[in-house]
Amino acid sequence: MMKRYYSRWIEKHSWLLLLLLVVPGLIYTDDNYKIVTCSYLLIISFISLYWLLNPAVIKNLAQFRGVQLFAPFLIYSLLSIFWSTNGYAANVPVRCLGMSALLTLCYLVIYHKPEKLPVIANTFLVGGTACLILAMYQQGLGFSPHFVEMGHAVFDHHVYIAWLAAILLLLLLNGSLRLSMAQCALFCFFLGCIILSAGRGGLLVFLCGYISMIFSQENRYREKQVFLCLILPILLIFVLNPLDLLKMTNKGASSRGEIFAIHFKKATDSKSHFLFGRGLNTSTDLVIKEKTIPHFHSLYLTLMYKGGVIGLLLYLAMLAYIIYQGLRVPKSQPWIFIVIGMSVALAVDASDFFVWPSPLMTCFIIPLFLTLFSIPPKSPNYENPAAATTG
């Protein structure tokens, strides 16, 4: 009886549990925010207990091709901890377990509370907008190119402002290219945040996601919309502050070419490193010209450095399947466009896949998993839990 009550309770309130991870994830910076750590660990414990009391969910999860591709990647990444050369994060296994819990929560929402998906999208919109406003307020509403400096606002780096504003833009569009006046005002606000934060990665997220949205629809104004998508940010830059365009371009590659070259050489300096990587718990710190570079500025290079070609190919197989199939399923919108935009931008600016909860990965992992479960399983043995009796 207790088992049945617990299962039904967690299925009924899975969307609330997911929101408890979305909101803190958007404002998370470090362990100074104890509420994030506590809610994170508490929900992991809830989902772990749910697995034990209701193992049928594992059987249902295994029917999804996306999960079948994600599981080997996750297991391989965990195993790579054993050959890490210089471990630096003892909580990495916990974060991997937390990602599995998040995967399960997204599954429960899609198949038990699909009517709550707009609520989750609106939570991103409302919570994200509040974060943007709070960040500017903490800086005295100063619209400088880097109005959110490290450790001085709700986000720990100005880059996160641009990435968050980009996914809010794509959520606002929600797969439709028609906006009301209020939505147009929000559209300009979000786009302005990207430009004023000098966030080139965020601009790349929006442009790639928006263009994929345009080409996923049949309309005769497609080419004009693509042109408008490309020219609007430049026009807005000159309206707000013409100097911002120069500041965004003058930053150059921020030593990325040198960083990429050094770490690619380190990732391929032996056959074992090339195939299996250096391990999930290996530090990525690099010193260039007496300056410590804490990460690679590329998710894919990080995956190859830590997991080798095997780890990278496992991840790319999962990602390619989700994007390909997600574009063919209407109910995956607008999450699929966020996944596409983020996947492109993560090639030139990201630290690691297993750093969630964090603002950057909250903007990617949740849309990724929601898209995954929007793709129905093809297995004839799959039983829709929404129509089944929990026991």
The DSSP code sequence of 292-330 is EE-S-S-HHHHHHHHHHHHHHHHHHHHHHHHHHHHTT-G
Residue 150 maps to a domain = yes
Instruction: Tally Cβ neighbours within 10 Å of residue 184.
Output: 11
Q: Residue 355's pLDDT is what?
A: 74
Domain range for residue 218?
2-374
Query: Which residues, including other chains, have CB under 8 Å from residue 163's CB and lie 6 or more apart?
Result: 199, 201, 202, 205, 342, 345, 359, 360, 363
Residue 388 maps to a domain = no
Say whether 356 sits in a helix, a strand or coil: coil
User: Residue 27: is its pLDDT beyond 60?
Assistant: yes
Q: How confident is the model at residue 139 (pLDDT cuts 50, 70, 90)?
A: low
Q: How confident is the model at residue 224 (pLDDT cuts 50, 70, 90)?
A: low
Give the global pTM.
0.83
Residue 60 maps to a domain = yes
What does the pLDDT average to over 333-361? 83
| First-to-final CA distance of the chain | 9
Q: Residue 370's pLDDT is what?
A: 92
Residue 157 maps to a domain = yes
Phi/psi region, residue 54 (left: phi>0; alpha: psi -120 to 50; beta: rest), is beta
Q: Residue 96's pLDDT is what?
A: 81
Higher pLDDT, 256 or 115: 115
Residue 242 maps to a domain = yes
Q: How confident is the model at residue 67 (pLDDT cuts 50, 70, 90)?
A: very high
Q: Residue 225's pLDDT is what?
A: 59
Higher pLDDT, 334 or 149: 334
**What gap in Å lies between CA 371 and CA 65, rounded to an integer?**
12
Residue 383 maps to a domain = no
Higher pLDDT, 219 or 67: 67
Mean of all residue pLDDT scores within the chain: 75
Nearest to 108 by CA among 7, 238, 220, 246: 7
Q: Which of 82-86, 212-216, 300-304, 326-330 has the lowest mean pLDDT?
A: 82-86
- Token pair, residue 349, equals 């600016």
Domain count within the chain = 1
Q: With pLDDT > 70 as the criterion, what percentage of the chain qualifies?
A: 67
Where b means 16+ CB within 10 Å and e means fewer, 331-370 reads bbbbbbbbbbbbbbbbebbbbbbbbbbbbbbbbbbbbbbb
User: Residue 141: is its pLDDT beyond 50?
Assistant: no
Dump pLDDT digits (tens) for 303-337: 888 888 999 999 999 999 999 999 888 878 889 99
Higher pLDDT, 106 or 295: 106
User: Residue 250: is its pLDDT beyond 50?
Assistant: no
Higher pLDDT, 22 or 234: 22
Q: Residue 71's pLDDT is what?
A: 92
Q: Residue 214's pLDDT is what?
A: 79
Q: Residue 42's pLDDT is what?
A: 77
User: Residue 32: is its pLDDT beyond 50?
Assistant: no
Q: Tell the burial category of 85 from Cβ atoms under 10 Å away from its Cβ (0-12, 13-18, 19+).
A: exposed
Contact present, 17 and 43 (Cβ < 8 Å): yes
Residue 196 maps to a domain = yes
- Token pair, residue 319, equals 């990602």
- Token pair, residue 94, equals 């916990």
Residue 125 maps to a domain = yes
**What gap in Å lies between CA 242 and CA 239, rounded to an integer?**
7
**What gap in Å lies between CA 202 and CA 165, rounded to an integer?**
7
